[in-house]
Structure 1
């Protein structure tokens, strides 16, 4: 059954390009095709200088606000900067390589519980027919065992990666958004943990799907691998990690 559009656009979308406008263009086209009635504007951050050619001649049914950084910023800093331009009840952090085959924004907003601070559909990775499994608390043991036989997946995710994060703006503001001490990795787990510790729920649209055309830079670059490893160490030495780990042990 089709879900009626809200009376006014409910969502501001933040997309960050790292020289990826060729990926961003089809994403904007899909947002316009499937979800334009839900979207007030897209805040597009150019984290490094790049040619506008991929966007030439394009027009969409929502506003596009551009930010061009003088110096590159980290993942969290870019989205926090975009949130300053958000005046809608929902704020969507979206990777440039996410793809849609249908509207998921209206259904997600419609199913949101009053205490839902963060929502997501199920994510399909490239070449797979089943969505990514729910993730447990990000720990060394979890990383070492998650792909081994006998690993028990949680019924509800402890956290979600920063590919598609639909925040209730009130919740995002209350916890002051992403922790900018993380440059590129770890901030997605951290913000999920801090939302839960503040009393907000992570809600999954189990029947909704978005596709991820994965760009796995950490597998190709020692610089990205270093950022990944150092961010994990920051997670595991943070107070939020240990408090959230205890909370999950008590409630699951």
Structure 2
């Protein structure tokens, strides 16, 4: 371990459990790419607002950084810190963190989330437990309270042109971004989590399509959270390249073709992939 300003860095592979598990229905996976201050704020929010629902948090440090500091009374949930010897992708990190989970529900959560609207997880877990639900998600807003476009259409070239070039609102809901997803643990396990063949982009599209092709539904919970939504693919060349590579992989995947056929062949199926 190294140090920054006297604070030890967590570096190298391994898992460290900081506290014993407490009652709760949810395990939360958070991956940090040097997001230290954001992670600290998020964990403080979880400790303050969501301790009745969250049993365990798995924090993966994809880069060496200082671990979060516990509150005065300690963490009210089990906090496991995982360190990677070298950075790996979004899907791989979350799959490793949630492998073997025994909690009733699992959550994929971005580090740039703020729980400024109160605890969303009680409502999310309750909804995820309903029959036929494969994934529950909250409404995402930005720091000014404006609703984010987290619910999106199947990313066909035409749909991307509508959204990116013409800046038109979405007219259908085929998938939701993975800033905050809560799934029943058996559903997550049956899908084998994210497809690790994607890197940084389209993992959430693929997961939602596989989930819905399996007959499960996406469901919006009566809960809100704030998501910064930095969208690095619009500003950084390497992220743009990863995004394009992932789109190309998605468009050539059996999952994408099956989803397209389902939409074209039976527009009455609204409990799998929504129609306009």
- TM-score, reference length from structure 2: 0.82
Q: Name the residue aligned to 1:10.
A: 25
Once the two structures are superposed, residues 103-153 of structure 1 have per-residue CA deviations (whole angstroms, 9 ceiling, x without a partner) of: 111112223321111110111133343343631111111010136477661
1:180 matched to 2:193? The reply is no
RMSD: 1.9
Tell me if 1:146 matches 2:163.
yes
Quick one: which of 36, 39, 58 aligns to 2:51? 36
Alignment of 1:33-182 (within 5 A): 33-52=48-67, 55-58=68-71, 59-100=74-115, 101-112=117-128, 113-132=130-149, 134-146=151-163, 148=166, 153-154=171-172, 157-182=173-198
C-alpha displacement at 1:219, in angstroms?
A: 2.8
Partner SS state of residue 37, structure 1:
coil
Q: Which runs of 5+ in 1 are unaligned?
A: 1-6
- Cα 1:49/1:117, change in 2 over 3 Å: same
Identify which of structures 1 and 2 has the higher relative contact order when contacts are C-alpha pairs closer than 8 Å and 6+ apart.
1
* Most deviating of 241-250 and 24-33: 241-250
Task: Give the Å deviation of 1:197.
Answer: 1.3
Q: Deviations over 1:130-184 (max 9, x none)?
A: 3436311111110101364776612xx2101110111111011101110000011
The equivalent residue for 1:246 is: 261
The answer to which of 223-232 and 57-66 deviates more is 57-66
- Aligned-partner SS, 1:146: helix
CA distance in structure 2 between the aligned counterparts of 1:40 and 1:151, rounded to whole angstroms: 37
Count of residues in Structure 1 that have an aligned counterpart in Structure 2: 241
The residue aligned with 1:209 is 224
Structure whose residues are more often helix by fraction: 1
For the residue of structure 1 that corresponds to 2:60, the secondary structure is strand
Q: Spell out, residue by residue over 1:184-214, the C-alpha distance to the aligned partner (whole angstroms, 9 max, x if none).
A: 1011000001111112111111x32111022
Conserved in 2, the CA contact under 8 Å of 1:41 and 1:65? yes
Structure 1, 104-113 or 225-234: larger mean CA deviation: 104-113
Q: What TM-score do you get using the length of structure 1 for normalisation?
A: 0.89
